[in-house]
A and B are shown apart, each in its own frame.
Chain A
């Protein structure tokens, strides 16, 4: 599996967009980029995934660079409830999910 690199922590003001970067420079052509998040004392929760194209759902947007070596998860209007650890994972399918340490996002009022 491709190794992903994320900043250990980030802050964001409530109501502003949170942009969480992820580097996956060794990702292979068939590997997807997945994002999960883990709110304190809960199990991880799926957010979004993509292969080449940008993706958007009700939770977030995923922007993948054309060379696929990096991506950005965007939470358009962060709320205090978005405070969590966000994991970026590069994997072929859902049997290959290998979590790193993630980015601890703190949304501040």
Chain B
């Protein structure tokens, strides 16, 4: 399967613990996005990368959140000192950039985080 993959698919943690999620984009895609989705809501933009550069961060991305894409391929999203309000689905998407054609975002299946 050459789609976007995310690991783990589910994570249960206790409040105050740190968690890290991984996203592997489609191999030729240079853009990578992170979103958060809570029940009944649409995905909320968190941040995106072009290659290894983090080009935009939402104000939703508090100091406890950090995302990296060190070699311009896979990305990690870390949440430090988790809070119950962090419980959500964390979605990753990737796309190409440039050119005149629209480059759709391809989404992964998401990582569901539950903070107890």
List the interface of chain B (C-beta within 8 A of A): 4, 31, 33, 35, 40-45, 48, 55-56, 91, 93, 95, 102-110
**What is the total number of residues of chain A having a CB less than 8 Å from a CB of chain B?**
20
A41 → chain B closest CB, angstroms: 8
In the docked arrangement, what's the CA distance between A93 and B56, Å?
14
List the interface of chain A (C-beta within 8 A of B): 32, 38, 41-46, 49, 85, 87, 93-95, 97-102
Closest residue to B43 on the A side, CB-wise?
A99
Q: Given that A94-B104, A97-B105 are known contacts, is A43 also in contact with B42, CB under 8 Å in the complex?
A: no
Q: Which residues of A contact B33 (CB under 8 A)?
A: 97
Q: Which residues of B contact A95 (CB under 8 A)?
A: 31, 48, 55-56
Closest residue to B92 on the A side, CB-wise?
A43
Cβ-Cβ contact count across A and B, 8 Å cutoff: 49
Q: Which residues of A contact B41 (CB under 8 A)?
A: 101
Q: Which residues of B contact A32 (CB under 8 A)?
A: 102
Q: Given that A43-B93, A43-B110, A94-B95 are known contacts, is A99 also in contact with B104, CB under 8 Å in the complex?
A: no
A109 → chain B closest CB, angstroms: 25
Q: Which residues of A contact B102 (CB under 8 A)?
A: 32, 49, 93-94
5 smallest CB-CB distances across A and B, nearest first, come from A43-B107, A99-B42, A46-B104, A99-B43, A44-B107
B69 → chain A closest CB, angstroms: 15
A98 touches B45 (CB 8 A): yes
Q: Which residues of A contact B106 (CB under 8 A)?
A: 46
Closest residue to A42 on the B side, CB-wise?
B109
A84 → chain B closest CB, angstroms: 12
Q: Given that A46-B104, A46-B105 are known contacts, is A99 also in contact with B56, CB under 8 Å in the complex?
A: no
